[in-house]
Amino acid sequence: MAASRLVPEVEQQFVKAMNGEQRKERRAFVKLPVRLCFAGETEEHVGFVRDMSAHGMFFYSDVRPASGSQLEFIMRLPQNTMDAAEVSCKGVVVRVESHKPGAATGIALRIEECTVLSAN
């Protein structure tokens, strides 16, 4: 028996309802290290990007910023995007998720500005 397929608009609504998501853009699941700091500060923290889109990303870090905090970060995009470019970005924290004590903090960030530092 052939699998039935939903109309694309219905399928999209169904997926959103099942996931509880209201994202405006599709996100790519990635595994990227990221270096970050609070805007205007020099102390660096490390993080690990889980997923990202053109205007946002979700990552885990050892730091716990407040919602609304401005962060600056540098990461190296994989070769299949922008020829392995290193980018510097600025964004605003829109959500912070905490888990068990000692576990990394989940951070959702709205990306407001990006600059390509180098491309290979």
- What CATH number corresponds to the domain at position 38? 2.40.10.220
Show pLDDT as tens, one digit a residue, over the chain (120 residues): 444 444 455 445 544 544 555 556 677 788 889 999 998 889 999 999 999 888 899 999 988 999 999 999 988 876 665 556 788 889 999 999 977 788 889 999 999 998 888 766
Number of domains in the chain: 1
Q: Which domain holds residue 69?
A: 25-118
Helix (H) or strand (E) holding 89: strand 86-97
Q: Tell me the pTM.
A: 0.71
* Sequence-distant (≥ 6) Cβ neighbours of residue 7 within 8 angstroms: none
In a domain, 50, yes or no: yes
In a domain, 4, yes or no: no
Other residues' Cβ atoms within 10 Å of the Cβ of residue 56: 19
In a domain, 46, yes or no: yes
In a domain, 20, yes or no: no
